[in-house]
Amino acid sequence: MTTIPAYKSQFIDHCIKANALKFGTFTLKSGRISPYFFNAGLFHRADLIRSISTAFAHTLADRSDLEFDILFGPAYKGVPLATTTVDKLAEINPEKYGSLSYSFNRKEAKTHGEGGSIVGAPLKGKKIFIIDDVITAGTAIREAIEIIKAEGGELVGIVVAVDRMEKTPAKDGEDESAPRQSAIGQVREQYGIPILAILTLDDVVEFTKGKGTEDDLRRLKEYREMYKAID
């Protein structure tokens, strides 16, 4: 029996049915051999986008201490996540989130009409929460942070679908077994902001204890032990 919240368990179920979360043997971009793989890009059906936006909304709403005016979705994957999660948050708590806005950036600034590089609510003077699928190397999220800064917004946090909780790959000359932070840990430390996730590797392990195979569970635990970040 799992000990994770119901919305997380339901989300993992939906991920598995959509093949967005798979167990097996996968070679990552880093070269590591992972026993699982997550692909949020497969959440393009109505029922699946409803599932992920609901999970995002619960992840944010569970933190009653967080105050923000806008969900910012970096182009392109963050765009549908921001728009649909704003709607779900308003359903969960209309009093708190009924006036919540969304924004996203254009890849190229518009030079005609109203111009600019932002679509949706203006960021200036507003508290901004970034929403995206994952933070891998941290490059894309830092670009989004610079956009928010340039527009005069105040970044107050980031929420992602999955935190793999694993240390960054070793650079040339580094020992792969040496302790290191994760990409999320590096961003959290650099900017001093909370970074939330619908799921962590720990959540996937807990879910697998109740519904997965013994082999999947063993391999997940071994992978976590081998690559766990210090944060």
Give the C-alpha separation, 138 to 149, whole Å.
16
- Is 110 catalytic? The answer is yes
Strand segments, DSSP code E, in the chain are 21-27, 33-38, 70-73, 101-110, 116-120, 127-132, 154-163, 195-200
**Secondary structure of 8-37 in the HEC alphabet?**
HHHHHHHHHHCCCEEEEEEECCCCCEEEEE
> 71 to each of 99, 150, 223, 227, how far by Cα in Å?
12, 16, 33, 31
Give the C-alpha separation, 204 to 217, whole Å.
9
Q: Which residue among the candidates 112, 167, 221, 228 is catalytic per the annotation?
A: 112
Q: Which residue among the candidates 17, 44, 96, 110 is catalytic per the annotation?
A: 110
- Is 112 catalytic? The answer is yes
Residues with catalytic roles: 110, 112
